[in-house]
Structure 1
Amino acid sequence: MAEQTPMSSRVFTVPNILSFLRLALVPVFLVLLIAGEDVAALLVLVFSSVSDFLDGVIARKFNQITRLGQLLDPAADRLFIFAALIGLSVREILPWWLTAVIIGRDVLLAVLGIVLANHGFGPLPVHHLGKVATFCLYYALPLIMLGQAFDAIAWWANPLGWAFALWGAFLYWWAGVVYVRETARVIRIPWGAAGSQSDTIET
């Protein structure tokens, strides 16, 4: 069995500071996007992606993996996706129904998390469908933004971005159905067995 990386409860580590910075850039990104400053918004997104990569490398290399970091990192990723969806929808580049579909799935997962917690369990492991869906959305929204920022590449960036967006939304909800079924299975476990089972379902 592989040795687990030690988990720290520290707050002020370099990776966590980078994650805090990424969170602070979310409203900046949203304002730039709504204002139509697509190039500047893309630069913020590139900086966020680079810092996301760096904080993971630093955390692993210097044993600075923390509980807080495991919460901040995916939170920043999700908020950037939400900001991109909202900004592009405000500008009527994306339809609001697509934004509602994607955000609605995350609301569903939040409800499932509450249900699991009430039954004594931690969050479910991330399903590979969810990972693929998130991957699609990470590429879809920047591609659509690239098409808006640079007319010369819009002919391929926009169709490719839309393909990733629609496929990602579909997989997002497919994974959501899997999480619903898994939650239904898990909560049937008797309460007394929750302590022994929770370790097997936590991420």
Structure 2
Amino acid sequence: MADAAPERLVVTDPVEPATPPVSAWNIANALTVMRLLVVPAFIVFLFLDGTGWRLAALGVFMFASITDQLDGFLARKYGLITDFGKIADPIADKALIGSALVCLSLLGELPWWVTVVIIARELGVTALRFVVIRFGIIPASTGGKIKTVLQIFAVGFFLVPGLLDVVRWATMGTAVLVTVATGVDYVVRAVRLRQVARREQV
């Protein structure tokens, strides 16, 4: 009787454990929420008379601006990027910058056209984010990050008591130009995302 055929060994690839999804409850998103919560205090300080209160408003504004840079750094370094953060972070930025611009215009320190141009761009981009969210989420571009930094410096310079107007306006003018340019870029990226998503559905 012939020997039985040797059993064949089947080698299977090891199953790698699935990467758990990143929780929205993390330090990066907590800093984003904190930035939203300090906006009312900033507004109150800005409308109170006196150099001390103006410096207090500047301090709150700079603290919130630092958290903006810090939460992005932590999210990238420790892999804490979430869909909540991608949406909440720019909203927190717009709340801080928008409230500062409106308050400065109400105080007569900044022309309304500057405030209207910047806020219209920010609201338009935010609305566009929600329109295209079913096709995908467009992360912040390098130009968008530069725009945010320029806006922070421009508003900060307007908050500093006694700073030369030429310094304020040079920075604010640059911020306005970059704000408009990046807004146009975002519209182009949103249209491309929608076209790609529709082709994949066909």
| TM bucket, shorter chain | 0.7 to 0.9
The one of 130, 154, 162 equivalent to 1:140 is 154
The one of 2, 14, 20 equivalent to 2:27 is 14
Residues 1:96 and 1:170: Cα distance change in structure 2 (over 3 Å): same
User: 2: CA distance between counterparts of 1:21 and 1:101?
Assistant: 27
User: 2: CA distance between counterparts of 1:47 and 1:19?
Assistant: 12
RMSD: 2.8
Query: Deviation of residue 126 (structure 1)?
Result: 3.1
Query: Deviation of residue 87 (structure 1)?
Result: 1.1
User: 2: CA distance between counterparts of 1:106 and 1:194?
Assistant: 30
- Output the amino acid matched with 1:75: I
Residue 83 of structure 1 corresponds to 99
Alignment of 1:50-61 (within 5 A): 50-56=66-72, 58-59=74-75
4+ runs of 1 displaced by more than 6 Å? none
Residue 121 of structure 2 corresponds to 105
After superposition, what is the alpha-carbon deviation per residue over 1:2-53, rounded to whole angstroms, capped at 9, x for unaligned? xxx9751242x33333332221100110121123421110111232234444
Alignment pair present for 1:41 and 2:54: no
Query: TM-score when scaled to structure 2?
Result: 0.74
Residues 1:111 and 1:189: Cα distance change in structure 2 (over 3 Å): same
- Output the amino acid matched with 1:24: L
- Output the amino acid matched with 1:20: V
Query: TM-score when scaled to structure 1?
Result: 0.74
1:9–1:67 Cα contact (<8 Å) kept: no
> Among the aligned pairs, what percent are the same residue?
34
1:34–1:88 Cα contact (<8 Å) kept: no
Query: Deviation of residue 192 (structure 1)?
Result: 5.1
Residue 200 of structure 1 corresponds to none
- Output the amino acid matched with 1:39: L
Query: Deviation of residue 70 (structure 1)?
Result: 3.7
2:27–2:71 Cα contact (<8 Å) kept: yes
After superposition, what is the alpha-carbon deviation per residue over 1:60-119, rounded to whole angstroms, capped at 9, x for unaligned? 5665544433433333222111111011011010111110100101122133224424xx
Q: Number of residues paired by the alignment?
A: 181
- When structure 1 is superposed on structure 2, of 89-98 and 18-27 the one drifting more is 18-27
The one of 99, 111, 121 equivalent to 1:95 is 111
Residues 1:60 and 1:193: Cα distance change in structure 2 (over 3 Å): closer
